Amino acid sequence: MILSENINFAVLIIFGMEKDLKIVCLDGYTVYPAGDSRWARFSEIGVTEIYDRTPYDENEIISRCIDADAVLTNKTPISARTIAALPRLKYIGVLATGYNIVDTAAARSAGVTVTNIPAYSTASVAQMAISLLLAITNRVEHYAAANRNGRWAACEDFSYRDFPLTELAGKIFGVVGLGNTGSATAAIARALGMKVAVYSSKPASALPDGYVKMELDELFQNADVVSLHCPLTEGTRHLVNATRLAMMKPSAILINTGRGPLVDEAALAEALDSGKIYAAGVDVLSTEPPAADNPLLSARNCFITPHIAWASDEARERLLDIAFANVKAFFAGKACNVVG
């Protein structure tokens, strides 16, 4: 059965009407739209309602989840008030790796299990981090667009250059955070001939051969490229700020495929516009979608993608496979990927 809710926010698909358990997904659209057959497997576990989107309104969230045993969410917040208002709730499945949208302390107090989807997009995010870097150093999209418009055909020389072309081999690739994604990104940089410097809690003896461990400020001072792969905590919020940007080389490039608030966006925009650093490639911003006046949207040499590093076809398939396995395992009494 398909019910049309407010068309701006949601399409509701209900599967598995005969089951006693109820599963509600609040915002499935960015993984797969509500009508996609990949969601149907959840009906093996219980009645399943899939909303494309849910307004960030506690009363609306509570209304949609009031008789749910399990709630799935990607970015729709689940607060302490919401948890307290849901008498049947036993399980919250976050359809992402980061789970700061859920009040995990309140969930724990209420006896509600919270799970996430770890490491599903490691290869895809690493690929995007390097893609942003190559977009900056090689400008393939610029030249392809110019040549479609006749630029090369009208050129009096066999070649032309609008931007500096940077060879990455021999440059220092600085990685902040050497978890799954940081490690995968560093490995690609190494394959390009770059030297890898690492800021990590891991001891130097645990790093791959040839990797150099540095303190954070030392890394910002020495790296030609700094790529952020650390979690967002109060300690890492605005880790990239005016002070650290001033430490970087004028030719340096910053890449952020981690979390938007790792970067002080106003400070980064000023550093780009004033030439303190050369360029930045970011897939995440502090508010998503961004405000129209976000300074990075108009900053010089700032390459922005709309939080898509995680969203390859393969990664989304993997995400839903793990999400289903998480729910199935929980109701079988074998909870996995528990967080908080």
Q: In this structure, what DSSP letter does residue 241 have?
A: -
Would you state the structure tokens that stand for residue 285, as one six-digit string? 């911003």
Could you tell me if 34 and 9 are in contact, meaning their C-beta atoms sit under 8 angstroms apart?
no
Buried b vs exposed e over 107-130: b needs ≥16 C-beta within 10 Å? beeeebbbbbbeebbbbbbbbbbb
Q: Which of 139, 229, 259, 318 is flagged as catalytic?
A: 259
**Cα 48 from Cα 17, distance rounded (Å):** 8
How many Å is the maximal CA-CA distance in the chain? 74
Could you tell me if 181 and 126 are in contact, meaning their C-beta atoms sit under 8 angstroms apart?
yes
Calculate the CA 168 to chain-centre distance.
Answer: 25
Q: Which of 244, 307, 316, 318 is flagged as catalytic?
A: 307
User: For residue 289, what are the contacts with CB-CB under 8 A and spacing of at least 6?
Assistant: 306
Number of H helices, E strands in the chain: 10, 14
Q: Mark whether 259 is an active-site residue.
A: yes
Q: Mark whether 288 is an active-site residue.
A: yes
Q: Mark whether 81 is an active-site residue.
A: no
Could you tell me if 285 and 264 are in contact, meaning their C-beta atoms sit under 8 angstroms apart?
no
Q: Which of 88, 288, 300, 314 is flagged as catalytic?
A: 288
Which residues form the catalytic set?
A: 259, 288, 307
